[in-house]
């Protein structure tokens, strides 16, 4: 009998990562493709996903009938039971059934969930939060994602809409967020939030190394943020310190609300500049939570980096077996 393999995907607004896991849950092949290559149409993004799976099969030298299952994390509100993407902020999916066409094409089960939920699940099963029962996750990227493990289970709330605490309001008169509200954590601490501050300061005539690195969609690459911090660029330092301040406030709120074993921080920004962020968050967080609760909570950076969502997707498959 031929060995079976699991294929796991991280479908983002700008890039899609894919890996093949063998029977020992080891990654044997991986690829990365720009998501935008699939175009702005729902079926084109679906076709891109299929092309990633095809390339993984070819690169790993395995046949379609050797696929055990396929699983993915993607941005948005996703019904994990039906595989229907109700809404995705960075992909052209609205009430879109992605499960049926993938299963039809590859003849294997397909599972999909919100990317940060899946990423926190990966850290819980294989990464920094392994062995913890209650975990709060903040993933800092273009936006601000949240994920929550309660009593050893992924919490998704009613209609799989839970854990969106990137949109907890920290200042009702604060900056406008993409969700339509003002003063959300995302509006302060995500790439978009930091970019908005940098652009504001640059518009006032202040020099900033990152100003010309911000793209049309309002973000910058994390590697440029790291370089600007290393050069102690004043406006960049202000933007990041502001982001860390509000992350500390949000962390304190979640510590008080959940009393988790651990708060884990992931995403591209944390992978590039995690030490800088963690130092400032840890310095401030005690101001915003009850001391008696804080004493039992650990704060850690994600251990799996770009692979958090991929291992979370693997966990989704293994939980179904």
Structural domains of the chain ordered from first start: 5-119+308-320 (3.30.420.40), 132-301 (3.30.420.40)
The mean pLDDT of 74-102, rounded to a whole number, is: 87
Comparing 19-23, 34-38, 77-81, 198-202, which segment has the lowest mean pLDDT?
34-38
Please report which confidence band the pLDDT of residue 92 belongs to, taking 50, 70 and 90 as the band edges: confident
CA–CA separation, 281 and 185 (whole Å): 14
Predicted local confidence at residue 90, as pLDDT? 66
- At a CB cut-off of 8 Å and minimum separation 6, what does 236 contact? 198, 208, 209, 210, 225, 228, 229
Whole-model pTM: value is 0.92
Residue 225 confidence (pLDDT) above 80 = yes
pLDDT at residue 37, as a whole number: 44
- List pLDDT tens digits, range 115-165: 999 999 999 999 999 999 999 999 998 889 999 999 999 999 998 999 999
């Amino acid at each position: 009998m031929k060995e079976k393999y699991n294929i796991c995907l991280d479908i983002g607004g700008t890039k899609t990562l894919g890996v093949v896991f063998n029977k020992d849950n080891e990654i044997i092949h991986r690829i990365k493709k720009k998501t935008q290559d699939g175009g702005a149409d729902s079926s084109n993004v679906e076709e891109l996903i299929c092309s990633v799976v095809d390339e993984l099969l070819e690169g790993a030298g395995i046949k379609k009938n050797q696929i055990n299952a396929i699983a993915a994390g993607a941005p948005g509100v996703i019904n994990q039971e039906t595989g229907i993407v109700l809404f995705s902020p960075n992909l052209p999916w609205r009430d879109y059934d992605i499960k049926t066409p993938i299963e039809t094409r590859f003849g294997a089960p397909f599972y999909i969930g919100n990317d940060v939920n899946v990423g926190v699940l990966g850290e819980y099963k294989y990464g920094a939060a392994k062995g913890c029962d209650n975990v709060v996750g903040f993933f800092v990227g273009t936006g601000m994602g949240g994920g929550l493990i309660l009593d050893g289970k992924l919490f998704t709330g009613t209609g799989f809409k839970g854990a969106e605490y990137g949109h907890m309001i920290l200042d009702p008169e604060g900056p406008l967020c993409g969700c339509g509200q003002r003063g959300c954590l995302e509006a302060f601490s995500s790439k978009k939030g930091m970019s908005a501050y940098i652009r504001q300061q640059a518009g006032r005539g202040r020099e900033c190394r990152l100003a010309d690195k911000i793209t049309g969609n309002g973000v910058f690459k994390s590697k440029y943020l790291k370089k600007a911090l290393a050069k102690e660029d004043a406006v960049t330092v202000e933007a990041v310190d502001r982001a860390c301040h509000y992350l500390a406030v949000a962390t304190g709120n979640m510590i008080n609300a959940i009393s988790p074993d651990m708060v884990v921080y992931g995403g591209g920004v944390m992978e590039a500049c995690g030490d800088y962020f963690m130092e400032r968050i840890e310095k401030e967080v005690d101001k915003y939570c009850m001391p008696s609760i804080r004493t039992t909570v650990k704060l850690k950076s994600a251990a799996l980096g770009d692979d958090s969502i991929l291992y979370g997707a693997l966990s989704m498959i293994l939980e179904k077996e």
